[in-house]
Structure 1
Amino acid sequence: MDTYKDIWYVKLLHEFPHLNFSFKETNSTFEPENKSYQESLILWAAAPVAFILVILFLASCCLCIQCVKKKPQKPPRTTCIRIVVAIFIIFSIGAIAVGFFGNEQVSKGATEFYDALKDTNQTLGDISVTVETIADVVERINGPAGVQALKELVSKSGSAANQTLGVILIQIEELANKTKTDIDSVKSDLPGLLLLKFSKEAVDVEFIRWIVTIVLMCFSLFILLTTSLGCYKKSRCLLMTSVVLGFFGLLLVWTGSGAYLGISVGASDLCYDPDTFVESLGENKAEKDVIREYAKCQVNKGIPSIFQQDIKNAFSEVSRANTTLDKFINESLKFFPVANITRPVLFMRQQLDYAFGNVTSLGELLDCRTLHGDYTKAVEGVCQTALVGVALLLLMLPFAGICMIVVQCVLPRIWYLTGKRRGYRPVDDSDPFCHRPPPYNGYGTMEADRDRGGARGSCTLEYYRDLRRSADELDAEERVPMNDSPPPAYHPGRFPQRYDIE
């Protein structure tokens, strides 16, 4: 028979140290109900969360430093920094894409496990129905239409018939009861609770895990896309939004990494020795022995030894009951006509044949190769298909988390260097066409402030007189004396003619 063989990373994760909350080493055997074992898995799950909390604290300090830092006068280039951020964003998106594949692999493995579980439960259900059917057949054989009807007929035929045929009917009744006892023994030893613990709640837990992982990765993609847009547009608002959302995203990503780390360690402990855990599901020694028989079914082995004798006895007893019924028919010819016993004998013959067929079917259902195949499929679904997906998530989520940490550390710097800076631009004070008024001192008077330099000092009354003097040199025919009036408007090519008002 095909048997499960563990893979290398199962051994690697199984060898991780298992420590309880007191940091004392515990057994690495998969025992989900053991408190110390639960604590060891919780510690592994909490390690990535503690790591990201420290990183987020340091990133918050860096962000505060960037906020209070003095802005540079000359805007520096941010192209190189934004290219670095783009590279890490691409790495993060690639890791999340692989994470989507890993999530589907986990779901696929869970589906294989539940399909095998469904087949096993179907087989166990068929066994239970067959056992109950045989018990009903035995009751019908011994009921008023079978043995009881023949007893009444024999009792009316005299004491001689009663002594001869009554003993034969008692033998048939005892053989039928022994068959029922053997079948009840099979039912009592059958591990009915073998897989009932993995019921609909486990299916619901897997669906919740799948949904939460999808939402987590989609939220991380949204953060990365927001960051990309903010860096492309150099938008301080989008960059700050990315920083704030990135804090939550990092916390969620590393929390998910911790959860999958704990799941990986626990699943590896299970897959390292699944037979021992499955055997522990039996409630008594007989059930545990049966589970061991099915978990370690050999190539040419059929019915497990614990059931083999009961099934063999049931076959023998049904056959002997048929032979005894033939003997009863032959002996009854001495006491009454065959027509008197035809109906009850035919009914008993049908029921005995029906019982023989059900015993044969029960033996086929109890064949270890059927249930062992379902068991192997279930273990492979968990320990190969699903665990591969968990391993991918365990690798890709931390990798994406590290890339996002780098992005979160660089974003405050980009935010610091990005955006418009308001201030005065240097102007040419000698430009005669700059739009600025002359200085006013007081109300209604214009007085030159010769001591002021720069843009205001150039727009004085004397400046306008010099300007007018230059215009007079260009056009000697037009000489307009200057007064304290505002400067004339300029037309392209020349100043318009002005007239003094006497």
Structure 2
Amino acid sequence: MSSDRVDYIAPWWTYWLHNFPHINLRFQPIDKTFQPEDENYQQSLIFLGCVAAAGLGLNLLCLAIYLSCLCCCRKEEEEESKKPNSCCVTWSAVAAGLITCVAVGVGFYGNSETNDGVYQMTYSLYNANHTLGGVDSLGITLPFGLKQVSGTMSNMRSGLHQHLARLDEIFATRGDYVQTLQFMQQMADNVIKQLLGLSDWEKAKVDLASIADQSATIEYYRWLTYLLLLILDLIICLLACLGLAKQSRWLLTTMMVFGVLTLVLSWTSLGADLATAVGTSDFCISPDKYIMSKTKDVISADIVHYYLYCNQTLSNPFQQPLAIFQRSLTTMQIQIQGLLQFAVPLFPTAERDLLGIQHLLNSSEASLHQLTALLDCRGLNKDYLDAMVGVCYDGVEGVLYLCLFSILAACAFTVMLCAIPRAWRQIACREQDYDDMDEEDPFNPRARRLGSQNPDHTNMHSFCSYSSSMGSQTSLHPPARLSPMPQCLSTCESKKKKNNLGGKVTSEI
């Protein structure tokens, strides 16, 4: 047994979570000891979820009050200032985007840490189940539901009885040899009796592999759910920012609906994570006490202490039967060696049975060494410590990061839900101001856009050229309303006057 064994020490955050108020649904404080079967303890964890639900209700109430005030006070602000203030909306969108990015990063880290912790726990459970299965195949009863004498011990008992019965008939004429055979039979019965004298563990039968499988399945779906939630938060934030940039009212309205849904999911996940973290921390504070309380009626306390603590001050509860087994095997091997040396020359037919007993004793001794190694506390204690470290260190730490993710996501989407209505109203105000502009104003953007679409303006240069080539003003129709003459028309008129003047001078000459 190693003297430098590392003891389990609960991390500081489990003590912090363990000190959270434990209150049942009747608002009565209860004991903080981990008791998952107790109704009051279950209510204390449900109460933590109710606290998160109350936080969600308060958050939605504040949003409703804010939106109501925004709808009532917006008209007065519009009358005071014709230019809407978009700076607040911009910075709110930037803050919401940054907080969402931080929240998603924290969520990915917490989800990975929790998954690593649960994986380490399931891996340790599989190792412990493999160790106990190896002990079971060697034929000894241990905690967690191993069978009674089986495997090697059962074969030894039946095979030894057959060989001794035949040798008793062969050595019937030699009383000293018969006494030796009877002594060996008594020693074998004593070994079986010592091993059968151990406590009956059938009542404590637990399949660790089944527990590991269930834990792995639940963890997979938990990990996948949080992964989808993280991706959903990121997509909603990006689409909301895109809606603000494009000033798309339908996209902002859709993202506002999804933002409310994500806000509800964030508070729900916060309640579930908080209850899980507190309950797991209550177990991590003193896991040995809970295990002792669950096994006190079916397993000896010495055996449980031996595997949970595994220090030199505790003696191996299996040391006495294993020592008797070893001494009995050694004594029987000496007896068989003597019979092979002195009895075989007188009774040659006894050699086959004596060699069979010797082979059986050799195989039993090899199994005894394997059994001694498997029964040592260091293997199972290491699996126990690894499982505790996985759950209480990586697991609880990851759940705390997931709680932080839920809080940051709730804050980010609250800011986003406050910014989207302002942006929506500003877009509406700009469209209203745009509709109120004078269409005849030459500086109106709409008038310029409509003017660019008028075919008369696009064909002005060709019209002037056509009129100039004709050399006559009869094809030109004066406009219905007075307006400044375009430069191209004035150029055409000056050319016509020069032509008329030149014709008159020529006729006079």
Normalising by the smaller structure, the TM-score range is 0.7 to 0.9
TM-score, length of structure 1 as denominator length:
0.79
Residue from 298, 318, 332 that aligns with 1:321 = 332
Letter in 2 for 1:92: T
Displacement of 1:327:
4.5
Q: Is the 8 A contact 2:199 2:299 kept in 1?
A: no
Displacement of 1:367:
0.7
Moved more, 127-136 or 186-195: 186-195
Change (3 A) 1:429 1:63: closer
Matched, 1:139 2:157: yes
CA displacement, residues 272-294 of structure 1 (integer Å, 9 cap, x when unaligned)? 11111222342625344322211
Change (3 A) 1:287 1:398: farther
Change (3 A) 1:194 1:32: farther
Q: For 2:418 and 2:435, locate their aligned partners in 1 and report how far apart those are by CA, in whole Å.
A: 29
SS of corresponding position for 2:435: coil
Displacement of 1:88:
2.4
Residue from 293, 298, 302 that aligns with 1:289 = 302
Q: For 1:125 and 1:290, locate their aligned partners in 2 and report how far apart those are by CA, in whole Å.
A: 17
Residue from 380, 391, 410 that aligns with 1:371 = 380
Letter in 2 for 1:45: G
Q: Which residue of 2 aligns with 1:310?
A: 321
Number of equivalenced pairs: 436
Q: Which residue of 1 aligns with 2:14?
A: 10
Q: Which residue of 2 aligns with 1:464?
A: none
Q: Is the 8 A contact 1:194 1:281 kept in 2?
A: no
Q: Which residue of 2 aligns with 1:482?
A: none
Matched, 1:35 2:39: yes
Q: Is the 8 A contact 1:96 1:397 kept in 2?
A: no
Q: For 1:289 and 1:257, locate their aligned partners in 2 and report how far apart those are by CA, in whole Å.
A: 41
Displacement of 1:80:
3.3
CA displacement, residues 227-264 of structure 1 (integer Å, 9 cap, x when unaligned)? 11111112111111111101100000111011110011
Q: For 1:488 and 1:405, locate their aligned partners in 2 and report how far apart those are by CA, in whole Å.
A: 58
Q: For 1:396 and 1:195, locate their aligned partners in 2 and report how far apart those are by CA, in whole Å.
A: 33
Q: Which residue of 1 aligns with 2:250?
A: 237
Q: For 1:18 and 1:80, locate their aligned partners in 2 and report how far apart those are by CA, in whole Å.
A: 42
Matched, 1:273 2:291: no
Moved more, 127-136 or 192-201: 192-201
Q: Which residue of 1 aligns with 2:55?
A: 51
Q: Which residue of 1 aligns with 2:457?
A: none
Displacement of 1:338:
4.3
Q: Which residue of 1 aligns with 2:499?
A: none
Q: For 2:191 and 2:62, locate their aligned partners in 1 and report how far apart those are by CA, in whole Å.
A: 76
- 1:324-403 aligned at under 5 Å gives the runs 324-329=335-340, 332=343, 337-403=346-412
Displacement of 1:171:
2.1
Displacement of 1:111:
1.1
Moved more, 400-409 or 94-103: 400-409
Letter in 2 for 1:188: D
Unaligned runs of 5+ in 1: 436-477, 479-484, 497-502
Q: For 2:379 and 2:112, locate their aligned partners in 1 and report how far apart those are by CA, in whole Å.
A: 28
Change (3 A) 1:488 1:394: closer
Residue from 165, 168, 180 that aligns with 1:148 = 165
CA displacement, residues 346-384 of structure 1 (integer Å, 9 cap, x when unaligned)? 110010111111112111111111111111111111111
Displacement of 1:119:
1.0
Matched, 1:167 2:176: no
Matched, 1:487 2:480: yes
Q: Which residue of 1 aligns with 2:505?
A: none
Matched, 1:88 2:96: yes
Q: For 1:429 and 1:3, locate their aligned partners in 2 and report how far apart those are by CA, in whole Å.
A: 86
CA displacement, residues 44-63 of structure 1 (integer Å, 9 cap, x when unaligned)? 12211221123123324544
Residue from 104, 107, 115 that aligns with 1:99 = 107
More helix by share: 2
Q: Is the 8 A contact 2:126 2:209 kept in 1?
A: no
Q: Which residue of 2 aligns with 1:442?
A: none
Change (3 A) 1:371 1:172: same
Letter in 1 for 2:167: L
Displacement of 1:39:
0.8
Letter in 1 for 2:420: L
Displacement of 1:270:
1.0
Matched, 1:425 2:437: yes
Letter in 2 for 1:78: S
Moved more, 205-214 or 247-256: 205-214
Q: For 1:427 and 1:365, locate their aligned partners in 2 and report how far apart those are by CA, in whole Å.
A: 94
Displacement of 1:429:
8.8
Q: For 1:251 and 1:128, locate their aligned partners in 2 and report how far apart those are by CA, in whole Å.
A: 51
Residue from 224, 227, 250 that aligns with 2:240 = 227
Q: For 1:147 and 1:386, locate their aligned partners in 2 and report how far apart those are by CA, in whole Å.
A: 58
Q: Is the 8 A contact 2:122 2:213 kept in 1?
A: no
Q: Which residue of 1 aligns with 2:418?
A: 409
SS of corresponding position for 1:198: helix
Moved more, 167-176 or 217-226: 167-176
Q: Is the 8 A contact 1:75 1:417 kept in 2?
A: no
- 1:65-76 aligned at under 5 Å gives the runs 66=70, 72=78, 74-76=82-84
Displacement of 1:198:
2.6
Q: Is the 8 A contact 2:135 2:371 kept in 1?
A: yes
Q: Is the 8 A contact 1:91 1:400 kept in 2?
A: yes
CA displacement, residues 422-453 of structure 1 (integer Å, 9 cap, x when unaligned)? 5332367999xxx9xxxxxxxxxxxxxxxxxx
Unaligned runs of 5+ in 2: 140-149, 448-472, 494-509
Q: Which residue of 1 aligns with 2:30?
A: 26
Matched, 1:108 2:116: yes
CA RMSD of aligned residues (A): 3.0
Q: Which residue of 1 aligns with 2:87?
A: 79
Displacement of 1:101:
0.8
Q: Is the 8 A contact 1:138 1:180 kept in 2?
A: no
Q: For 2:64 and 2:356, locate their aligned partners in 1 and report how far apart those are by CA, in whole Å.
A: 87
Letter in 2 for 1:180: I
Moved more, 170-179 or 305-314: 170-179
Q: For 1:233 and 1:429, locate their aligned partners in 2 and report how far apart those are by CA, in whole Å.
A: 27
Q: For 1:387 and 1:486, locate their aligned partners in 2 and report how far apart those are by CA, in whole Å.
A: 85
Q: Is the 8 A contact 2:118 2:215 kept in 1?
A: no
Q: For 1:346 and 1:401, locate their aligned partners in 2 and report how far apart those are by CA, in whole Å.
A: 78
Q: For 2:416 and 2:394, locate their aligned partners in 1 and report how far apart those are by CA, in whole Å.
A: 33
